[in-house]
Structure formats: C-alpha cells, structure tokens
Amino acid sequence: MCGISGVAGLTDVSHILLASIKSLEYRGYDSCGMAILAQRRIEIRKDVGTVDEVIQRQRLYEVHGLLGIAHTRWATHGGVTSVNAHPHRSSDGAFAVVHNGIISNYRQLRGELEELGYVFSSETDSEVIPHLLHFYYRREQDVERALQCCLARLEGSYAFALLTTHEPERLYCAKLQSPLILGIGSNQNFIGSDFNAFIAYTRSAVVLDDHEYAVLTNDSYRIINALTSLPIRKNLMHIAWDPEQAQKGGYPHYMLKEVFEQPQTVSKVLAIERGELEKLARSLFDAGRAYFIGAGTTYYAALFGQYQLAELAQLFVPAISSDEFKFGALVDAETLVVAISQSGETYDTLEALRFAREHGAHTAAIVNVQGSSMTRLVDQVIMQGSGPEICVVSTKSALAQMLILTRLALVAGLLRGTLSAVQYDEREAELRLLPAVIQRILNEKSGFINTIARRHCHVNDWLYLGRGIYYAVAMESALKMKEVAYLHAEGMPGGFLKHGTLALIGEGVNTIVFTPPRAQRELHDLSLGSTEEVKARGGYLIGIHFDAEPSLYQDQVQLPEMPAILGPFAQLVVGQLLAYFAATALKRNVDKPRSLAKSVTVA
Ligand code: G6P
C-alpha cells in the first residue's frame, strides 16, 4: 500500500531517501513526502503527485541532513491532498511520522486528543501517532517510553517510522500487521516497507515481527518486544535478489521487462527441488480437504492450480478468492490452505490464513518475497524465486506460480498413481521446453500482437473466453487488460456465454477466444463452438490458437505447435502482451496504473 523508508547515516542521507521512496513507489503513488532532521530541527516537504513530480515541485533535493524518513502514499483515510500526505508532525514540530496501515481506533484517539486541545491538520488516521507521541513524551520525558505508551494505545495495523528533535541521532520504527524491514549497512542503517527501499545499499536485512519496535542509529540497531519491553535478538537475513534486477535495464517499462524475463523465471521454477513439491503434495493427501487461495492475479493462479490438480492428479482442491474465504469455506483441523502470493503481504490472503490457523488448519504458501509476513505465518513455504517484480500488475510472478502448481500436480499425480513414471517424465521434459517456447513467442509475436492491440485499443468492452484451464488463462488475461489498459474486459468460461452474456454480442464488443491445441480435442471443439456462437451474432472475434482456423476469426495470433501442457502458458504470455501494448497505445501509466497498488495491505 504505502511505502515507508528511513535512513540514518554518517553523511547526508537525502539523496538515498529520495532514491529509496522512488524504489517503493509501486506500493502507492498518489502523494509523497519526506522529513529530514538537521540542526535539531525537522524539515518536512510533501505534496500530491508522483515522487518525481514532488521532488521537483517541492525541491526535496534542497533538504540535507544525517537522518530522514520518507513516504509514498496510497490514500485510505483522507483524500489525496498535500495536507494528508505524510510525514505528519506533532504540533510542536518535535516528532515526525510516516505510517503504512490503518489505525482502526483513530476516531476515538483523535477525539481524546482533541479534548486535550490537540489540533489536527489532516483527515488521516496516521496523524494521531505524532500527537500521541507528543502527549506521552510530555508525561514520560523519554522518547522510548513515549513510544511504548503510544503503541499500547494503537489498534489496527501499522508500520511506522519516526524521528524526533529530542534524540537527533535516532530513528524509531514499529510494526503490527503491516510489513517492516531493517537494512543493516556499514555506517548507515535503513528502514523500509520492503527490500527495494535499500537493496541498492545493503543486502543484509532484519525482518520485524508484530509487536516489535526498533531503534536505529547509523552504526547500531536494537529490537524490542513492545509487549514485554524486552530486547530481542534476531538473525540477519541475506537478501538473495540482485539489485540489478530491480532496474529497468533499457526497457521502457518494468512490465515489459518482466514479461521478457519469463524464460529465466521459468528456469528458476524448473530448478525447484522435486522433494519440496512432494512435501506439499503429501500435505494435500493428508488433508481432509484443501483449498488454494489468492487475491487478484493470484486467485487466477489458484484457479489454474485447481484445474491442474484435477486433471493430472484427480484431486479436487478448489480455488477461493482470499477475501471470500472466511464466508465460503469450511475449515477445521483436517484442512490444508495453500496461499499464493507474490508479495507475501496481501491483507486479504494473510487474514484468510490467520482465520484458517485459528480453526486449527494446516497452512502452506507459494510466495515470491523472501522474509515476507506470509513466509513466516505458514507451516510450509515454496519460494518461487522470480526476483523483484516492480510493475504493479503481476506477470512473471503469476506465470511462475502457475508453473509451480503444474509441477505440484504432476508430482501429486505420480505419487497417487494417476500418472505413470513414464508419463511424469514426459510431462516434466515438456515443461523444460517452456523457456524456449516463451522466448520464441516474445521474439516472433510481439510486433504482431502490438499491431492488434493498437488496432483495437479504442474498443471499450471485451469478452475473454476460455474452457478448462484456459478459463483461468482468460480470467487472468482479462484482469491484465482491466488493470493496465483500463478497458472493460470480462473473462468467463466459453460455455457460460450462452447463459446470458451472449446478449451483449454485437457492435462495440470484441471477443477473444483462447482456443486450446487440437490435441485437447474436447476443449478445442467446445471452444470452436463458443466462437461460432459469437460469429453467428456478428461479434468481432480475435482468436489465440495453435492450429490454422483463419476463417473463424477477424484477427488472430497463431502460436507454434507445442505440447499441450505448454499451451496455457503460451497463451498467458499473449494475454500479457496484448494488455501491455493496448496500455501503451492508450498512453496509460503502465507500471503504476491508476488506483492500484502492488501489495494491498489493508482490508
Ligand atoms: C493487488 C494487486 C494485484 C495482485 C494482488 C495480489 O490487488 O493490484 O495485481 O494480483 O494484489 O497480490 P499478491 O502480492 O498477494 O500476489
């Protein structure tokens, strides 16, 4: 959601701080600001707009000091205004705070503080924090005690960082439910919402847990349990990501870079030890019932997993959108919940996992971000190893998750005997062709897909049809189109079309059909049936297919022949490129689409 960062250094930290919030901008990008402490004075500059806009307009580069905090915002409480932007300060200017999360009892706290004469300048929940700190500091005459008292009053979720004129060498930060990580460098230490805040400066990190706070100077840090006030020793974690990977590397957008990285992403997934997948497969067998959960794209990855497990291992593992899990699933001690998440921080998915754990369920997760909350919450983790994904919309990470689920289904099939050893080896060997297949599509089809996208990007309404596992592909591809091109794209099973939506077919609605290879005879023929239904009503059809059917479609992307198991992945790449090129033709903010954030850490 919001991104927070903090730096304590030996020399001026302002340029580091600006680079840091720029790297976190994908977490939120409606406004930003920073506070720097110098000569026992805190200077705050903030405004509405992107980090670059605010840097220029407010001349953030003019402020210098050895200690600073910064924030990039995704508004929840209070509109997108300069006053609501962070940092927020106490009335006497002695405390400045940046916050990510939602203080759920802020109305009550605000009321109490206002009665005491505190004047609020913003509409945010966050502003209660500096005022509370001021209040308790006056009583305790000690910053750390004031922070402890403040934490005892806050409910909801928070990751916040603060600096204060009372202790000009120290940064403080605290965490409950929202992610917070320390970066430990030489002569400089960092606070960040995630690794990207400081990976350019250090790859040593300490992940904070709930109810912990930390005190940092440029050459020391300590972590304290806020509930017991006792110090905590934590291991340093080495961040496996290469800082280079978080750069755009010559591509116009991160999205395109990440789509083009997919051959390598696939290779990483293929390198995951079979033993890891076997362990998860056995947990699935042991469970009385099991679910896959995810949000947005990862829900569609979960759906993809449902189809693969059913087909390859004859196991029914339904996919449920994390936000609906509590209401639609049955959970008990015999249940296994497998979460899928790029960030490992998505609130809805974490909440569903917590709910499952409270009911005694066993939990597992497929996650990209090392050290994230989800990796620490669940009983079993598979790290997908896709490297940093900076674009808000997920591409390479989603493809990796779908491939992991496919490999899981193959292993489960082998263990259950629904696949013979020969069949298993054949399918695994076919998956090893995927990097080259994706590379070929990227090389040979990108230009062509760009032409189609430009030709049709002014059509506002789209139907994306798929059958079987291609239904999951159609849903995810439609979501990509919505997220990045802001076009209304509705995914649905091909068979569902005739039960209502067919009434929409006509002028102004484009239909994309994800047709499986002819080798998947039943699915293939059913898809052609849906295509005919649209054609008969004069709908405009774009086919993504493997076998020449030119007369059926007005436009088409014909993919090379490939083993059936690779088909959905190949079509997914086409869906990504179509959305990307439509978005660039429409001059959308590709890497940071309006109103979205990469990891949604609030309810
Ligand atoms: C947000 C993003 C989506 C993403 C979803 C799940 O809604 O806008 O693009 O798919 O979160 O994120 P996760 O990090 O859990 O995969």
- Among residues 22, 175, 482, 598, the one annotated as catalytic is 598
User: Which pLDDT score is estimated for 238?
Assistant: 92
Instruction: Using only the alpha carbons of the chain, give its radius of gyration.
Output: 25
- Please state the rounded mean pLDDT for residues 544-566: 89
Q: Residue 255: which pLDDT band, with cuts at 50, 70 and 90?
A: very high
- Please state the rounded mean pLDDT for residues 253-279: 96
Q: What is the Å distance from ligand 1's center to 121 Cα?
A: 32
Ligand 1, CB cutoff 6 Å, lining residues:
295-298, 341-343, 346, 349, 392-394, 596, 598-600
Share of the chain above pLDDT 70, in %: 99
Residue 27, pLDDT > 90, answer no
- In which element (H, E) is residue 101 found? strand 95-103
Q: What is the pLDDT of residues 432-468, one digit of tens each?
A: 999 999 999 999 999 999 999 999 999 999 999 999 9
Q: Residue 603: which pLDDT band, with cuts at 50, 70 and 90?
A: confident
Share of the chain above pLDDT 90, in %: 88
User: Which pLDDT score is estimated for 111?
Assistant: 97
Query: Which ligand 1 atom is the nearest neighbour of the CA of 295?
Result: 6
As separate numbers, helices (DSSP H) first and strands (DSSP E) second, the chain gives: 18, 25
Instruction: Give the length of the chain.
Output: 603
Query: Which ligand 1 atom is the nearest neighbour of the CA of 398?
Result: 16
Alpha-carbon distance of 544 to 532, in angstroms, equals 15
Alpha-carbon distance of 37 to 8, in angstroms, equals 10
- In which element (H, E) is residue 374 found? helix 373-377
Tokens of 582: 């439509």
Residue 256, pLDDT > 70, answer yes
Mutate to test the pocket of ligand 1, among 27, 196, 342, 345 (most ligand atoms within 8 A of CB): 342
Alpha-carbon distance of 467 to 514, in angstroms, equals 8
Give the mean pLDDT of the chain: 94
**Closest C-alpha among 580, 569, 601 to residue 391:** 580
Angle (CA) 90 92 97, round 5°: 25
Alpha-carbon distance of 375 to 396, in angstroms, equals 20
User: Which pLDDT score is estimated for 10?
Assistant: 93
User: Which pLDDT score is estimated for 550?
Assistant: 66
Residue 399, pLDDT > 70, answer yes
Query: Which ligand 1 atom is the nearest neighbour of the CA of 596?
Result: 8
**Atom 5 of ligand 1: nearest residue by CA position:** 296
Q: What is the Å distance from ligand 1's center to 349 Cα?
A: 10
Prior bond of 87 cis (ω within 30°):
yes
Q: What is the pLDDT of residues 592-602, one digit of tens each?
A: 898 887 777 77
Alpha-carbon distance of 185 to 205, in angstroms, equals 9
Q: What is the pLDDT of residues 83-124, one digit of tens each?
A: 999 999 999 999 999 999 999 999 999 999 999 999 999 999
Report whether 165 contacts 121 (CB < 8 A): no
**Atom 2 of ligand 1: nearest residue by CA position:** 598
User: Which pLDDT score is estimated for 507?
Assistant: 84
Q: What is the Å distance from ligand 1's center to 342 Cα?
A: 7
**Atom 15 of ligand 1: nearest residue by CA position:** 341
Q: What is the pLDDT of residues 145-193, one digit of tens each?
A: 999 999 999 999 999 999 999 999 999 999 998 999 999 999 999 999 9
CA dihedral (44, 46, 52, 58) positive or negative: negative
Relative to beta strand 188-192, strand 181-184 is: antiparallel
- Among residues 2, 173, 391, 457, the one annotated as catalytic is 2
Query: Which ligand 1 atom is the nearest neighbour of the CA of 393?
Result: 9
User: Which pLDDT score is estimated for 386?
Assistant: 95
- Please state the rounded mean pLDDT for residues 230-246: 87
User: Which pLDDT score is estimated for 175?
Assistant: 97
Mutate to test the pocket of ligand 1, among 322, 338, 599 (most ligand atoms within 8 A of CB): 599
Alpha-carbon distance of 191 to 195, in angstroms, equals 9
**Closest C-alpha among 338, 238, 213, 355 to residue 280:** 338
User: Which pLDDT score is estimated for 242?
Assistant: 76
Q: What is the pLDDT of residues 204-218, one digit of tens each?
A: 999 999 999 999 999
User: Which pLDDT score is estimated for 33?
Assistant: 96
Q: Which of 74-78, 138-142, 522-526, 596-600 has the highest mean pLDDT?
A: 138-142
Active site residue 149: no
Q: What is the Å distance from ligand 1's center to 512 Cα?
A: 24
Residue 566, pLDDT > 80, answer yes
Active site residue 598: yes
Residue 506, pLDDT > 90, answer no
**Atom 7 of ligand 1: nearest residue by CA position:** 296
User: Which pLDDT score is estimated for 247?
Assistant: 79
Alpha-carbon distance of 36 to 433, in angstroms, equals 52
All structural domains of the chain, each given as residue ranges with its CATH number in brackets, are 3-245 (3.60.20.10), 253-432 (3.40.50.10490), 442-590 (3.40.50.10490)
Query: Which ligand 1 atom is the nearest neighbour of the CA of 296?
Result: 10
- Please state the rounded mean pLDDT for residues 58-73: 94
